[in-house]
């Protein structure tokens, strides 16, 4: 994955960026559909309603584009909605895995410290037994 895209996707503010981008695209698509398919979408607000239900993958079917251009636009809106949901799911999974990994790392550090103490005590006992047996 290219570095700039990876930085964007792993940023702390990825949720806010995803939401803002999706909202802007939804508004843009709502306006575009009302310009492209005037028959089915006589107002921008009707176009917005359609864009919101399409991008959220609800798709009630109460309003559908009939023009080819409108259907192509609808496909783009569907892809944006699916990508949005996929990225949100992937981000949540990534955060959960990262936190679990940090928890395991701290547990491993504690375990290694305890093992080191046991090792030192064992060496100390071996030295005592070795010097005690010769005297």
Would you give per-residue pLDDT tens digits along the chain (135 residues)?
566 766 666 666 777 778 888 899 999 999 999 999 888 899 999 999 999 998 887 777 788 888 888 889 989 989 988 988 888 888 778 777 777 776 667 777 778 888 899 999 999 988 888 876 554
Rounded to 10 degrees, what is the CA torsion of 8, 13, 15, 20? -90
HSE toward the beta carbon, residue 126, CA cutoff 13 A: 6
Predicted TM-score (pTM) of this structure: 0.59
* Nearest partner of 52 among 33, 26, 76, 78, judged by Cα: 26
Q: Domains plus CATH for the chain? A: 3-99 (1.10.287.70)
* Nearest partner of 59 among 50, 67, 72, 68, judged by Cα: 50
pLDDT of residue 18: 80
């Amino acid at each position: 994955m290219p570095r700039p895209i990876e930085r964007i996707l792993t940023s702390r503010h990825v949720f806010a960026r995803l939401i803002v981008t999706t909202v802007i695209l939804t508004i843009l698509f709502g306006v575009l559909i009302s310009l492209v398919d005037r028959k089915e979408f006589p107002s921008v607000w009707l176009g917005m309603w359609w864009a919101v239900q399409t991008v959220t993958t609800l798709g009630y079917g109460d309003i559908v584009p009939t023009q080819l251009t409108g259907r192509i636009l609808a496909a783009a809106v569907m892809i944006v909605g699916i990508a949005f949901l996929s990225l949100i799911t992937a981000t949540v999974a990534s955060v959960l895995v990262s936190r679990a990994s940090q928890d395991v790392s701290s547990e491993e550090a504690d375990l290694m410290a305890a093992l080191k103490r046991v090792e030192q005590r064992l060496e100390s006992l071996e030295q005592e037994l070795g010097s005690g047996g010769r005297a």
